[in-house]
Structure 1
Amino acid sequence: MNSTFMLDGEEVPFTPGQTVMQAAAAAGKYIPHLCWHPDFAAHGSCKLCTVKIGGRFATACTVRAAAGQEVDNHTPELTHKRRTLLQLLFVEGNHFCPSCEKSGDCALQATAYEMGMLTPHFDHFFPDRPVDASHPDVLLEFNRCIMCELCVRASREVDGKDVFALSGRGTGSHLIVNSESGRLADTDFAATDRAAAVCPVGVILKKRVGFAIPIGKRTYDIAPISAQPAGDPDTGNKLEETP
């Protein structure tokens, strides 16, 4: 028999070694997240999955579940903190949802709706991040990167290619391509790579299949992110599939 912990007053079962996030996802409970992915080791960078365990803040993707834990996930305090983190992500990049091909299938946008984010609040940074259209099958729109490193991990751990990396520090951090020229075309990246489908926003886009699913009929247009199958991280890439 599995042990249990309390999540917002409800019992959630877990198996030894599972994190709070893993157990919650398996039970169909939504904890906001962007950098967590069930196929990869926890990264803990976005901090959106921060919860309160026994009155202390902790990231649900890194803390092991334990019998008798009392975890607060949906509280006004946590919603406010998560909303602030989302606002910072929006102003640190260039996110123009109405004109973005990923609108309606973007986890960042969907999470902002979920957290009731109405404005960016902070001044926009407007970083200079040129688009890389050099690859015959894939476009890189660096302006939308949120530094989750999912593409970095997928390329390294699944594809065995190490195509992507993060460079710089602080507000100067940015995604780079591991080639002498810095161009995606000068790597062995393929549109069939796992890294091509794992981005939660609109950085990695397959060419010639844009808007195959019209806006208004996409994943998060139909149901909010909290109502999606827990731990279904590649949902937001369905628009890039051919009809």
Structure 2
Amino acid sequence: MTNKIKIKIDGKEIITDQGKTIVEAAHENGIFIPTLCNFAGALPKGCCRMCTIKINNRFMTSCTTPAAHGMEVENNTNEINDFRKGIIELLFVSGNHFCPSCEKSGNCELQALAYRYQMMVPRFPYDFPMKSVDGSSPYIIKDQNRCILCKRCIKTIKDDLGRHYFAFKERGHKLEVLLDEKMGKEISSALAKKAMENCPVGSIIFKEVGFEVPIGQRKYDHKPIGSEIEN
């Protein structure tokens, strides 16, 4: 039998199962904590830091921190929301995210979070990097300009033998997520579509079909991100 524990998030007491992470406990109790790298079925790594919360005056990632009985968590505060907004701004200025012309617009989690946290003009200078676009796969376009290095594609897109289609290359500011050249040419259309769906931004685009769902009818066009979780 699973042990139940009680924690508080922004003063609200919730009940969850022992062993659940804070973000899992929050979401199952109708409290939204934003994430970009965290994905169902994949081991959490805390890469993006969007799910940062505060416990005992210490910043923690809620996707990697197990809930503990009696824990008091700060989530929706001005300090933490400004921290999250800063992460969003840095992701925008470090890539080339041109939302109006992007296939993922309206379904993009980064764009939706920018709206939720009311990002207007970033506080940081734009890098305007010149990054590569790989179209060698019959089904996928991999645009490095929009990649946020969240690792979702690396963790979730595998073949029947467990081999990864995507992998990191280089380190530091040269770090990129690449589609394996050989495996990319053999990937199925179904798995390519899944890769696009799993990507939180417009870095992985499925070829041949563009704007299948019209702008204005997409996931976040009418409801803000997190509304499906919040009570």
Q: Partner of 1:106 in structure 2?
A: 108
Q: Partner of 1:228 in structure 2?
A: 228
Q: What's the TM-score once normalised by structure 1's chain length?
A: 0.86
- What is the DSSP-based 3-state SS (H/G/I as helix, E as strand, rest coil) of the residue aligned with 1:192? helix
Deviation string 1:61-103 (CA, Å, 9 cap, x unpaired) is 0111011111010001011111111111111111111111111
Q: Is the 8 A contact 1:161 1:189 kept in 2?
A: no
Q: Which residues of structure 1 form unaligned runs of 5+?
A: 231-243
2:188 corresponds, among 179, 187, 190, to 190
Alignment of 1:94-173 (within 5 A): 94-156=96-158, 160-173=162-175
Identity of aligned residues (%): 41
Q: Is the 8 A contact 1:152 1:164 kept in 2?
A: yes
State the distance in 2 between where 1:170 and 1:157 align. 28
Q: Partner of 2:90 in structure 1?
A: 88
Q: Is the 8 A contact 2:94 2:129 kept in 1?
A: yes
Q: Partner of 1:214 in structure 2?
A: 214
- CA separation of 1:205 and 1:134: change in aligned 2, threshold 3 A: same
Q: Give aligned pairs, total.
A: 226
How much does 1:33 deviate? 1.0
Deviation string 1:194-214 (CA, Å, 9 cap, x unpaired) is 434311111111123221111
State the distance in 2 between where 1:205 and 1:20 align. 32
State the distance in 1 between where 2:98 and 2:32 align. 26
Q: Is the 8 A contact 2:89 2:124 kept in 1?
A: yes
Residue type at the aligned position of 2:157: S
- What is the DSSP-based 3-state SS (H/G/I as helix, E as strand, rest coil) of the residue aligned with 1:71? strand
Q: Partner of 1:63 in structure 2?
A: 65
- What is the DSSP-based 3-state SS (H/G/I as helix, E as strand, rest coil) of the residue aligned with 1:205? strand
Q: Partner of 1:236 in structure 2?
A: none
State the distance in 2 between where 1:144 and 1:190 align. 23
How much does 1:135 deviate? 2.0
State the distance in 1 between where 2:38 and 2:160 align. 16
- CA separation of 1:97 and 1:159: change in aligned 2, threshold 3 A: farther
Q: Is the 8 A contact 1:155 1:164 kept in 2?
A: yes
Q: Partner of 1:29 in structure 2?
A: 31
Deviates more, 1:7-16 or 1:45-54: 7-16
Please list every run of at least 4 consecutive aligned residues from structure 1 whose deviation after the TM superposition is greater than 6 angstroms: none
How much does 1:130 deviate? 2.1
Aligned CA RMSD, in angstroms, stands at 1.9
